[in-house]
Structure 1
Amino acid sequence: MPELVTAHAAADPCDVVTAGEAMALFIAREAGPLDAVHAFERATAGAELNVAVGLARLGWRVRYLSALGNDSLGRHLLAFMAQEGIDPRDVRIDADHPTGFMMKGATTDGSDPPIEYFRRGSAASHLQATDIPPGVFPAARLLHLTGISPALSAGCREMVFALAAQARAAGRTVTFDPNLRPRLWPSQDAMIATLNELASLADVVLPGLAEGRLLTGRADAAGIADFYLAGGARHVVVKLGPQGAYYAGPEGRGTVPGVAVVNVVDTVGAGDGFAVGVLSGLLDGLPLDAAAARGNAIGARVVQFRGDCEGLPTRAQLAAEGPS
């Protein structure tokens, strides 16, 4: 098992590789059902893209593997990545398939907003293992995956497992956030089997409590952690929502309390913010409890902003607001 996020020399170094579907996001400017909304604002979405943005804002060098359509939405996303300092070399432009997008409603009571996806047949759903650039892992410290990409298509599933296998063979750290999307899977059984197999290839697993219960059949955070530790993970951090996070690994176990939020604006992206906190903490060499505390802080910050990644902090903002 590799030492977590060990620094190393490389001809073309980067810190993090991730892969997934970047989507355009249209956010309702008024509360209510989506069919009644008249005005939307454009932003960006995609779990892996959110994590890439968050890590890049904290100063880490990120390569992001994806595909976009040769359309205005794709060009906007590519420009956004460049603006955020994300390495665009591994984003393929697909002339035959469109960029996916999603619509998100607005709420005023802190509840989850309504969401509709328009991603079937998208450019990213046509990714496959042959899209993995040669030699990426000798130049990377960490690979981050989610459970969304393997649900998009058989090709995406093969790509994700190939990435995990290559990263492990190169001795790199693999982190995995299940990020369940049941509607993308042919059955619940297929989702559970595939994601637990992928989790078995990860060094760090980041399930939510409800996700973990569904995937493992265990009732509490400690049982969920036991399941993934027995499967090969070195560290497990279970997201507990406002109650914080439960962590388990070689250094021990415990619960890190949550961060109180007075005004929840938009809950979408909180889990990705949590992943940014944990991954950046590990890259910084923090112990797991401190990394989980940073995850709580960034997740709590994200829900105070409209949009999926607008609340992700810079290094200066993180230092000013803590924990650093």
Structure 2
Amino acid sequence: MTELITAGEPMGLFIAQTPGPLAQVNQFECRLAGADLNVAIGVARLQHTVQFITQIGQDVFGQKILNLLKREQIATTNVYQTSEWSTGMMLKGMATNGQPEVDYYRKASAAAHLSPQQVTQVDFERVKILHLGGILAGLSEAGYQTTLQLIKLARQHQVLITFDPNLRPTIWESTEQMIQRTNEIARLCDVIMPNIKEAQTLTGMAEVSQIAEFYLQTPSVQQVIINLIDDGAYSCQRHRDGTVTTTQLPTFKVEHLVDKVGAGDGFVAGVLTAMLENLSVSQSLQRGLALEAIQMQHRGDNEGLPTPTSLEKFLQQAQ
């Protein structure tokens, strides 16, 4: 039984082995990345069943992605391969302050051509959560329509829908389109999970209470969870009786900051697994912040995502 389904674009990743601008670096290490891939790995490592929906090229990176998914025990039933387009790719610099330089090669990638028709047969029976990110919708019109189709199918099966905007301005036609379509998707979901900068961009509002109210006025939205980046996390939840509760937790102290890329995906994975386990909002935020802090202490986008044992060890040491 699949507990969680997610969809998005996995990519090949080249990580610089020496500091400096990417244009001047000659040595790179090959790994794999992609926001939704990172989330899937994070959920699977905490021993939950995951299915990943995507399209990859019939190329080396595509094969590496398939190998990784199988190694992490992530279902590949709806991973499609095509010889017409290539798997996307990105370069990442060596971080000196936790925030590395990145450069994407994803225009017209295989994932950008994933179509609504390809996902019509996705089995949502007994699935608990559909988690979507905004990247697939921004890659192409096909990706946008595929996102809407997945939401429609999940609704037909009463599946909880969570959404991380994952704003990437360069993949959208314009900032206006990015904001309009991302908010359109958000209003179709149950739980919205932006970081504070994304939330401010999408709403034009500064305060978390204003941002939460902006989305909670939509009937389908039940909860807004905001990653405050360096200041912890915030949740505002509307209950069935109409009451609203808020929760806010501070971030964990990170002793050895290495790389912030992928940390936000760790946060999302932590929250989602806590939801699958019916933990409280406070426990969900705590787990999300823990995964974020752990991932920040590793190079690569998903290598640090913990197992239950390593997560428990981190939480004990953090007390």
TM-score with structure 2 setting the length: 0.95
Q: Distance in 1 between matches of 2:230 and 2:205?
A: 20
| 1:170-189 mapped onto 2 (5 Å cutoff) | 170-189=157-176
Counterpart of 1:5 in structure 2 is: none
Q: Does 1:69 align with 2:57?
A: yes
**Would the aligned equivalents of 2:120 and 2:149 in 1 still touch at CA under 8 Å?**
no
Q: Contact 1:90 / 1:133 at 8 angstroms: preserved in 2?
A: no
Residue 177 of structure 2 corresponds to: 190
1:87 match: 75
1:309 matched to 2:302:
yes
Task: Verify the 8 A CA contact 1:18 1:63 in the aligned structure 2.
Answer: yes
Deviation of residue 133 (structure 1)? 4.9
**Are residue 255 (structure 1) and residue 248 (structure 2) matched?**
yes
Corresponding residue for residue 28 of structure 2: 40
Partner residue in 2 for 1:277: 270
Deviation at 1:120, TM superposition (A): 1.1
Instruction: Report whether the alignment pairs 1:153 with 2:140.
Output: yes
What is the CA distance between 1:204 and its match in structure 2?
A: 0.9
Please say if 1:23 is aligned against 2:11.
Answer: yes
Secondary structure at the residue paired with 1:148? helix
The amino acid of 1:41's aligned partner reads E
Residues 282-321 of structure 1, C-alpha deviations (whole Å, 9 max, x = no match): 1111111210111111111111000000110011111222
Deviations 1:174-230 (A, max 9, x none): 000011001111111111111111011111111111111110111111111111111
1:242·1:259 contact (CA, 8 Å) conserved in 2? no
| Counterpart Cα distance in 1 of 2:2 and 2:120 | 14
Structure 1 range deviating more: 223-232 or 279-288? 223-232
CA contact (8 A) 2:249 2:285 kept: yes
Residue-by-residue CA offset, 1:25-49 (whole Å, 9 max, x unaligned): 0101111101111111111111110
User: Using the alignment, how far apart are the partners of 2:197 and 2:230 within structure 1?
Assistant: 13
- Report how far residue 262 of structure 1 moved: 2.1
CA-CA distance at 1:135 after TM superposition:
4.8
The runs of 4+ residues in structure 1 deviating greater than 6 Å are none
2: CA distance between counterparts of 1:134 and 1:147?
22
Equivalent AA in structure 2 for residue 72 of structure 1 = V
Report the counterpart of residue 209 of structure 1 in structure 2.
196
Secondary structure class of the residue paired with 1:26: strand
Q: Structure 2, unaligned stretches of length 5 or more?
A: none
- 2:214 is equivalent to residue 227 of structure 1: yes
Q: Any idea what the Cα deviations from partners look like across 1:97-125, whole Å, max 9, x if unmatched? A: 11111000012232x11101111111111
Q: Work out whether residues 133 and 163 of structure 2, in 8 Å CA contact, stay in contact via their aligned partners in 1.
A: yes
Q: Secondary structure at the match of 1:253?
A: strand
Query: Which secondary structure state, in structure 2, belongs to the residue aligned with residue 207 of structure 1?
Result: coil
In structure 1, runs of 5+ residues without a counterpart are 1-12
Displacement of 1:322 in angstroms is 2.3
Contact conserved, 2:247 with 2:281, CA < 8 A, in 1? Answer: no
For the residue of structure 2 that corresponds to 1:31, the secondary structure is coil
Specify the SS of the correspondent of 1:137: coil
User: Which residue in 1 is equivalent to 2:286?
Assistant: 293
Task: Answer yes or no: is 1:246 the counterpart of 2:239.
Answer: no
Contact 1:32 1:107 in 2 (8 A): no
* 1:28 alignment partner AA: A
The match for 1:141 is 128
Q: Which amino acid aligns with 1:182?
A: P
Q: What's the secondary structure of 1:30's corresponding residue?
A: coil
CA separation in 1, counterparts of 2:215 and 2:300?
31
* In structure 2, distance between residues paired with 1:182 and 1:220: 22
- Three-state SS of the structure 1 residue aligned to 2:184 is helix
Q: What displacement does 1:73 show?
A: 1.2
Q: Size of the alignment, in residue pairs?
A: 311
Task: Check the 8 A contact 1:165/1:201 in 2, yes or no.
Answer: no
Deviation readout 1:53-94 (Å, 9 max, x if unpaired): 000101111111111111111111111111111111211110
2:86 counterpart of 1:98: yes
Aligned equivalents of 1:309, 1:247: Cα separation in 2: 25
Q: Is the Cα contact below 8 Å between 2:39 and 2:269 reproduced in 1? A: yes
TM-score normalised by length of structure 1: 0.93
